[in-house]
């Protein structure tokens, strides 16, 4: 058993990085135009997860992506961040091929809040500032106030000094997302990508998250992957995905008028108690 374990460890060690960091173009400040052209991608050879995605986001716009689990929503984030490379098609940032840019420059310009936020065993403050000496405690508090999370933090023992423990275990998944939102806010990115937590959260935290998303998306080109439709009714455009394809696109009012539409059904099921 020991030998087999060792073999597995070596397998991991031998794995090459998923991406070839070939880009050389430096990137100072992005405007924030994003375009995907016929993007196809598979994690496992022969099992296509994105089947020809065409998507255009203009600088400053907020678009939302909704869809069934496994549709490929988070995968789009993985590609924009270059955690994986596409099989075919094109991704353009400000009109330039994504693959021309240096990976580290790219990641500096794009703030991502993942579905499962990783926090480390340290204070709230350090989890937000990430030891960046240019971010002061005052910046963190102001950011938290701006996105509406200051009160919740102040209710924790020690406030910003509260230690969230291993993997942020002392906080709920919704609260961990709020911390990650502040982290994204202080980074002042031109492109912001939010992947809403799937696990259930209490209605108070849900309201905080909704406010936070509204405020966060104001200053950047934003892509919000949402599981709760209340989060995204104000988005400029909503993209509906199913099995690796875009099946509907429009604003909230366009989409609720599609007879038998996916979004319309989703909307009715989430709000049936309030209709």
Ligand X SMILES: Nc1ncnc2c1ncn2[C@@H]1O[C@H](COP(=O)(O)OP(=O)(O)OP(=O)(O)O)[C@@H](O)[C@H]1O
Site residues (vs ligand X, CB under 6 A): 43-44, 49, 67, 69-75, 115, 198
Tokens of 42: 């598979």
Nearest-approach distance from CB 241 to ligand X, in angstroms: 7
The nearer residue to Mg ion, 74 or 211, going by C-beta atoms, is 74
- Residue 127 contacts which entry, ligand X, Mg ion, none (Cβ below 5-8 A, type-dependent): none
What secondary structure, in 3-state letters, does 56-124 show?
EECCCCEEEEEECCCCCHHHHHHHHCCCCCCCEEEEEECCEEHHHECHHHHHHHEEEECCCCCCCCCEH
In whole angstroms, give the CA distance from residue 182 to residue 145: 9
Q: Name the binder of 23 from Mg ion, ligand X, none, CB < 5-8 A by kind.
A: none
Q: Which does 173 bind (CB under 5 to 8 A by kind): ligand X, Mg ion, none?
A: none
- CB closer to ligand X, 42 vs 251: 42
Q: How far is the CB of 15 from Mg ion (least distance, A)?
A: 23
**71 interacts with, out of ligand X, Mg ion, none, CB within 5 to 8 A per kind:** ligand X
43: partner contacted, choices ligand X, Mg ion, none (Cβ within 5-8 A by kind): ligand X
Q: How far is the CB of 115 from Mg ion (least distance, A)?
A: 5
* Total count of residues recorded for the chain: 275
- Can you list the pairs that 58-61 forms with residues at least 24 positions away whose Cβ atoms lie under 8 Å? 58/33, 58/221, 59/31, 59/32, 59/33, 59/94, 59/190, 59/221, 60/32, 60/220, 60/221, 61/221, 61/222, 61/236, 61/237
Taking CB within 5 to 8 Å according to partner kind, which of Mg ion, ligand X, none is near residue 49? ligand X
Site for Mg ion in 214-273 (CB under 5 A): none
Question: Could you say which residues in the range 42-81 bind Mg ion, by CB under 5 A?
Answer: 74
CB nearer to Mg ion: pick between 30 and 76: 76
Least distance (Å) from ligand X to the CB of residue 17?
A: 14
Nearer to Mg ion, 27 or 86 (CB): 86
Contact of residue 70 among ligand X, Mg ion, none (CB under 5-8 Å per partner type):
ligand X
- Please provide the DSSP assignment of 155-219 as one string: TSTTGGG-B--GGGTTS-HHHHHHHHHHHHHHT--SEEEEE---S---HHHHHHHHHHHHHHGGG
- Closer to ligand X at the Cβ: 16 or 26? 16
Strand pairing class (34-44; 110-113): unpaired
Q: Write down the least CB distance from residue 239 to ligand X, Å.
A: 11
Q: Taking the complex as a whole, how short is the minimal distance between the CB of residue 24 and ligand X, in angstroms?
A: 27
DSSP label at residue 17: P
* Residues at the site binding Mg ion, with contacts judged by CB under 5 A: 74
């Amino acid at each position: 058993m020991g030998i087999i374990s060792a073999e597995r460890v070596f397998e991991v060690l031998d794995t090459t990085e998923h991406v070839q960091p070939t880009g050389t173009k430096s990137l100072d400040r992005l405007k924030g135009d994003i375009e995907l052209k016929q993007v196809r991608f598979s994690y496992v050879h022969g099992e296509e997860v994105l089947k020809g995605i065409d998507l255009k986001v203009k600088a400053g716009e907020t678009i939302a992506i909704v869809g069934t689990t496994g549709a490929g929503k988070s995968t789009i984030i993985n590609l924009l961040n270059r955690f994986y490379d596409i099989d075919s098609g094109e991704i353009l940032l400000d009109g330039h091929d994504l693959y021309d840019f240096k990976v580290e420059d790219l990641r500096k310009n794009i703030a991502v809040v993942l579905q499962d936020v990783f926090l480390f065993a340290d204070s709230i403050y350090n989890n937000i500032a990430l030891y960046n000496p240019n971010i002061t405690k005052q910046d963190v508090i102001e950011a938290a106030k701006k996105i509406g999370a200051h009160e919740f933090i102040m209710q924790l023992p020690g406030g910003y000094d509260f230690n969230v423990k291993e993997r942020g275990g002392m906080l709920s998944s919704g609260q961990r997302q709020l911390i990650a939102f502040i982290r994204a806010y202080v980074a002042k990115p031109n492109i912001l990508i939010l992947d809403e937590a799937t696990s259930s959260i209490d209605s108070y935290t849900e309201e905080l998250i909704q406010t936070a998303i509204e405020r966060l998306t104001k200053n950047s080109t934003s892509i919000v992957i949402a599981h709760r439709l209340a989060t995204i009714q104000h988005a400029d455009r909503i993209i509906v995905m199913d099995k690796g394809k875009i099946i509907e696109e429009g604003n909230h009012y366009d989409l609720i008028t599609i007879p038998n539409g996916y979004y319309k059904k989703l909307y009715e099921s989430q709000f049936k108690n309030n209709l």
